[in-house]
């Protein structure tokens, strides 16, 4: 089981623009989601940004096939949106970022560890429940699990032909992150962001 916690309001506010779509995952009862806090913060956001593009509420966002089907119902809203702020566990955010590769998908929650079930697709979309979700800066690819060294500030430089220097069968997570950032045209903006040191206490 996992626990998700909303990021601080000050962390989310810079993400919000007129063309921002909020996406929330309520359905997975194996992940504790702070639904009441989400409803409160959503109302605050709407007052501050009356032109927010809208909201999609789904369940089991981490189930890729199911989510892909459900998203078809919201095609128009998604087309209009430039940015999507996702309130779900790290697995859910990664699933959406994978399905909507041309959109900027940002994490509205941090995910914390509790022993037990962790979503339907944990092997494809790993989340180590680090408690400080970085997916907003890494194009929706988790640097903690995609990089063998869990580096947060860029590639180590040891990759060869796209493979990690630690394991020849593993892709370099940071090459994938940089490729995705580059293809979505966000590279300059992202490279300016500073990276805080990881607080390992949060993943215990
Ligand atoms: S950065 Fe990775 S490990 Fe940390 S909460 Fe986000 S998806 Fe999970
Ligand atoms: S080669 Fe890439 S994935 Fe491997 S440790 Fe270095 S940055 Fe991380």
Ligand 2 neighbourhood includes 15 CB (under 6 angstroms): no
Instruction: Say what the pLDDT of residue 21 is.
Output: 94
- Give the separation between CA 45 and CA 149, rounded to whole angstroms: 37
The answer to whether 181 and 139 are in contact (CB under 8 A) is: yes
CA of 129 to the centre of ligand 1 (A): 5
Higher-pLDDT residue of 109, 53: 109
Instruction: Say what the pLDDT of residue 32 is.
Output: 78
- Give the separation between CA 127 and CA 150, rounded to whole angstroms: 11
- Give the separation between CA 145 and CA 79, rounded to whole angstroms: 30
- Give the separation between CA 105 and CA 92, rounded to whole angstroms: 11
What are the tens digits of pLDDT across the range 131-180? Answer: 999 999 999 999 999 999 999 999 999 999 999 999 999 999 999 999 99
- Give the separation between CA 63 and CA 66, rounded to whole angstroms: 6
CATH number assigned to the domain covering 2-133+194-203: 3.40.50
- Cα-based distances in Å from 118 to 94, 188, 199: 13, 34, 22
* pTM given for the model: 0.90
Measured from the Cα of 146, ligand 2's closest atom is: 3
What are the tens digits of pLDDT across the range 20-67? Answer: 999 999 877 667 788 999 999 999 998 888 888 899 999 889 899 999
- Give the separation between CA 47 and CA 106, rounded to whole angstroms: 21
Mean pLDDT of the chain, nearest integer: 88
93: confidence class by pLDDT, cuts 50, 70, 90? very high
CA of 50 to the centre of ligand 1 (A): 30
Q: Inform me whether the pLDDT recorded for 188 exceeds 80.
A: no
Phi, psi at 202, each rounded to 5°: -70, -20
Ordered by start, the domain boundaries in the chain are 2-133+194-203
- Give the separation between CA 201 and CA 203, rounded to whole angstroms: 6
CA of 137 to the centre of ligand 1 (A): 11
Our mutation pick for probing the ligand 2 site, out of 172, 177, 178, 195, counting the most ligand atoms within 8 A of Cβ, is 172
6: confidence class by pLDDT, cuts 50, 70, 90? very high
CB atoms within 10 A of CB 157: 8
The residue count of the chain comes to 204
Instruction: Say what the pLDDT of residue 125 is.
Output: 63
Measured from the Cα of 142, ligand 1's closest atom is: 2
Task: Looking at 138-172, list the stretches that DSSP marks H as alpha helix, in order from N- to C-terminal side.
Answer: 143-146
CA of 164 to the centre of ligand 2 (A): 5
- Give the separation between CA 66 and CA 69, rounded to whole angstroms: 5
CA of 203 to the centre of ligand 1 (A): 10
Ligand 1 neighbourhood includes 88 CB (under 6 angstroms): no
């Amino acid at each position: 089981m996992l626990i998700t916690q909303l990021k601080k309001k000050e962390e989310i506010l810079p993400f919000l623009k007129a063309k921002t779509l909020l996406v929330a995952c309520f359905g997975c009862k194996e992940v504790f989601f702070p639904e009441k806090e989400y409803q409160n913060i959503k109302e605050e956001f709407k007052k501050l940004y009356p032109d927010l593009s809208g909201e999609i509420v789904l369940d089991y966002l981490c189930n890729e096939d199911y989510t892909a089907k459900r998203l078809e119902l919201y095609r128009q809203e998604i087309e209009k949106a430039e940015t999507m702020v996702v309130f779900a566990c790290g697995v859910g955010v990664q699933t959406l970022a994978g399905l909507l590769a041309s959109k900027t998908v940002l994490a509205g929650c941090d995910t914390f560890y509790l022993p037990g079930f962790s979503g339907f697709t944990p092997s494809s979309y790993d989340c180590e429940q680090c408690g400080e979700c970085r997916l907003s800066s890494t194009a929706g690819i988790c640097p903690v699990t995609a990089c063998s060294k869990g580096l947060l500030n860029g590639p180590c430089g040891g990759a060869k032909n796209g493979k990690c220097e630690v394991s020849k069968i593993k892709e370099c997570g940071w090459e994938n992150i940089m490729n995705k950032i580059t293809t979505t045209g966000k590279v300059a903006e992202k490279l300016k962001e500073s990276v805080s040191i990881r607080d390992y206490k949060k993943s215990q």
